[in-house]
Amino acid sequence: MENRLIIKFVFLLFLIAFVGFMSQRLGLNAQQVTAISIFSASVFATLLFWDFRVAIAFLGVAILLITKTVDLENMVKFASLEVILFLVAMMVLVGLLKELGLFAWLVTLILRIKNLTAKKFVFVISVLSALLACSVDEVTSIIFMVAAILEICDYFEIEPTPYIIISILATNIGSMGTVLGNPIGILIASKSGLTFEDFILKAFPMMWICLLITISLVMLWYHKSLKKLDEKIKELGANEILIRLISVPPEKQLRLGLGIFGLTLLFIALHHRLELLWKLETNTLLLSIPLISAGCVMIWKWRKAREYIEKDVDWWTLLFFLLLFAKAGTLKYTGATDVFAGRLLEAVKHSSSALTGTILWGSAIGSSILDNVVLVAAFIPVVQSFQSLSVSLKPLWWALLFGGCLGGNITLVGSTANIVALGILQKEKNIRMTFFRWFWVGLSVGIVTTCIVWVALMVLPIYR
């Protein structure tokens, strides 16, 4: 086991050295080569060394500082503490809602569907998966959706796999609908100056279009499974017995929690208007409102405040993000991404639509293999570099967001939601998803939805 680990580390060093060598051949200077090599270590670590990725990020940042590739002040600036704090506050809020039983209550809502039919079931789980993903986050959302689907499928004694896949596909699509759906949403909003309102006007309708097309596609794809479910519903007489077994009444505390969450969403939705009214810097309130809500929650439940911070916040992932953002910022700081942006623009012959298409498909294909946060963190400084080359950045930001979320559907490791949901499926039902069982349906949905987005980005003036 340990020998295998050493071989993998040697392979990692070889990959980093190769990236460094290639960068040097492309004419980059020593600092740019160091920045690219260190960033590539994080990329490879997410692919090969999941358990070591934070350790590798720690070492990488230290090397960047010691080699004077970046100074301490800029390192701290690039770490994007505002994004990390936003995610911490949202995790605290979600932790409270979980404890109050909101998600268990949502699960019962799905279990309570009246006059159940297979098509109705697919429609409800798809819409709820997407809406829940864009109002909390994709990982939290998928766990509850999977829990509900497994209960229904258990009741009707049918294979849950098609419905779990449908829910995952809808979750990834839903995660592009708002700033809250995916860490890349808040990351892009924070770097681009796009507001929640921009997301509601431009990303949310696109989410619905992609979702409705996906629902039609999966209904065709899984028509045999749907037919089987309809037969079972006829045989067992809908889910009345199941409904009678359920008992999660919305209690007073849950209603209060829902109130806090609802108000948070409302103020987040209005943040841009309020910022204009109070003459605040763009996105100041977007980032502050979750902090205010989380602060109130921790006053309300002060005895558990420490628990929310220690248990509900995924520090492992957030620390990785923090260091990753610092390393991505260094790419821009050294000018490495300016060189890359210039080359890319030459390659697409200065055509802004070809550039948008390249970013869209690049991020979609890239995020089907890589963690989309890693990919978007790498793309952001490149997109920022286009500004000095007189390219309109808006379509590029949308291309990055849509590609980064939709690409997650292409492979079974394309997004964290996929990995979490398929992990539960294997643990609960001993069903191991094969690469190709996922791939064909995932690829079809991924390509169709990315094509729709591509056309929209080319044709609709709102994205320019």
Partner 1 sequence: MKVKEIMTKDVVSVKPEDNARDAISLLFKMEISGLPVINEQGKLVGMFTEKDVLKQILPSYLEKVGRFVYEENPKSIKNKFQDLGNLSVSQLMRREVITIDEEASLCEAARIILTQKIRRIPVLDKEKKVVGIVAREDIVKSYAKEAGWRID
Supply the DSSP string of 254-318, one letter for each residue: HHHHHHHHHHHHHHHHTHHHHHHHTTPPTTHHHHHHHHHHHHHHHHHTGGGHHHIIIIIS-HHHH
Residue given tokens 């709820």 in the structure block: 128
DSSP category for residue 435: H
Asked whether 28 and 36 are in contact (CB, 8 A), the reply is yes
Confirm or reject binding of residue 209 to partner 1 (CB under 8 A).
Answer: no
Query: Residues 9, 155, 204, 315: which binds partner 1 (CB under 8 A)?
Result: 155
How many residues can be counted in the chain?
A: 464
Asked whether 179 and 268 are in contact (CB, 8 A), the reply is yes
Confirm or reject binding of residue 398 to partner 1 (CB under 8 A).
Answer: no
- What value, to the nearest 5°, has the Cα angle with vertex 360 and ends 422 and 374? 55
Confirm or reject binding of residue 428 to partner 1 (CB under 8 A).
Answer: yes
Q: Mapping DSSP to helix (H, G, I), strand (E, B) and coil, where does residue 350 land? A: coil
Number of C-alpha atoms within 13 angstroms, CB side, residue 437?
A: 11
| Least distance in angstroms from the C-beta of 147 to partner 1 | 5
| Least distance in angstroms from the C-beta of 138 to partner 1 | 14
Q: Which is nearer to partner 1, 138 or 275 (CB)?
A: 138
Task: Indicate the residue type of 134.
Answer: C
Q: Which stretch binds partner 1 (CB under 8 A): 22-30, 106-114, 259-267, 376-384?
A: 106-114
Confirm or reject binding of residue 101 to partner 1 (CB under 8 A).
Answer: yes
Q: Which is nearer to partner 1, 230 or 428 (CB)?
A: 428
Q: At what angle do helices 102-111 and 118-135 cross, to 10 degrees?
A: 160
What is the spatial distance between Cα 53 and Cα 60, in angstroms, rounded to a whole number?
10
Q: Which is nearer to partner 1, 34 or 418 (CB)?
A: 418
Q: Which stretch binds partner 1 (CB under 8 A): 80-88, 230-238, 318-326, 423-431?
A: 423-431
Q: Which is nearer to partner 1, 143 or 348 (CB)?
A: 143
Confirm or reject binding of residue 197 to partner 1 (CB under 8 A).
Answer: no
Residue given tokens 């990692």 in the structure block: 12
Confirm or reject binding of residue 198 to partner 1 (CB under 8 A).
Answer: no
| Least distance in angstroms from the C-beta of 235 to partner 1 | 15
**Site size for partner 1 (CB under 8 A):** 25
Query: Residues 21, 76, 120, 154: which binds partner 1 (CB under 8 A)?
Result: 154
Q: Which stretch binds partner 1 (CB under 8 A): 9-17, 78-86, 105-113, 441-449?
A: 105-113
What is the spatial distance between Cα 392 and Cα 383, in angstroms, rounded to a whole number?
10
Confirm or reject binding of residue 427 to partner 1 (CB under 8 A).
Answer: yes
Confirm or reject binding of residue 163 to partner 1 (CB under 8 A).
Answer: no
Confirm or reject binding of residue 245 to partner 1 (CB under 8 A).
Answer: yes
Q: What is the CA radius of gyration of the chain?
A: 23
Query: Residues 2, 27, 224, 247: which binds partner 1 (CB under 8 A)?
Result: 247
Listed residue (36, 39, 6, 43) closest to 21, CA to CA: 36
Confirm or reject binding of residue 258 to partner 1 (CB under 8 A).
Answer: no
Query: Residues 59, 81, 104, 305: which binds partner 1 (CB under 8 A)?
Result: 104
| Residues within window 125-144 making contact with partner 1, judged by CB under 8 A | 143-144
Confirm or reject binding of residue 448 to partner 1 (CB under 8 A).
Answer: no
Q: Which is nearer to partner 1, 154 or 231 (CB)?
A: 154
**Helix runs in 386-434, H state only:** 394-406, 416-429
What is the spatial distance between Cα 90 and Cα 84, in angstroms, rounded to a whole number?
10
The count of other CB atoms within 10 Å of the CB of residue 112 is 12
Burial bucket for residue 129 (CB in 10 Å: 0-12, 13-18, 19+): buried
Confirm or reject binding of residue 224 to partner 1 (CB under 8 A).
Answer: no
**Distance, CA of 445 to chain centre:** 17
| Residues within window 342-371 making contact with partner 1, judged by CB under 8 A | none
Strand intervals (E) in 88-167: none
| Least distance in angstroms from the C-beta of 214 to partner 1 | 24
Confirm or reject binding of residue 116 to partner 1 (CB under 8 A).
Answer: no
Listed residue (444, 97, 420, 89) closest to 285, CA to CA: 89
Confirm or reject binding of residue 108 to partner 1 (CB under 8 A).
Answer: yes
Query: Residues 26, 127, 147, 447: which binds partner 1 (CB under 8 A)?
Result: 147
| Least distance in angstroms from the C-beta of 218 to partner 1 | 23
Confirm or reject binding of residue 152 to partner 1 (CB under 8 A).
Answer: no
Q: Which is nearer to partner 1, 38 or 254 (CB)?
A: 254
- The residue ranges that bind partner 1 (CB under 8 A) are 98-104, 107-108, 111, 143-144, 146-147, 150-151, 154-155, 245-248, 424, 427-428
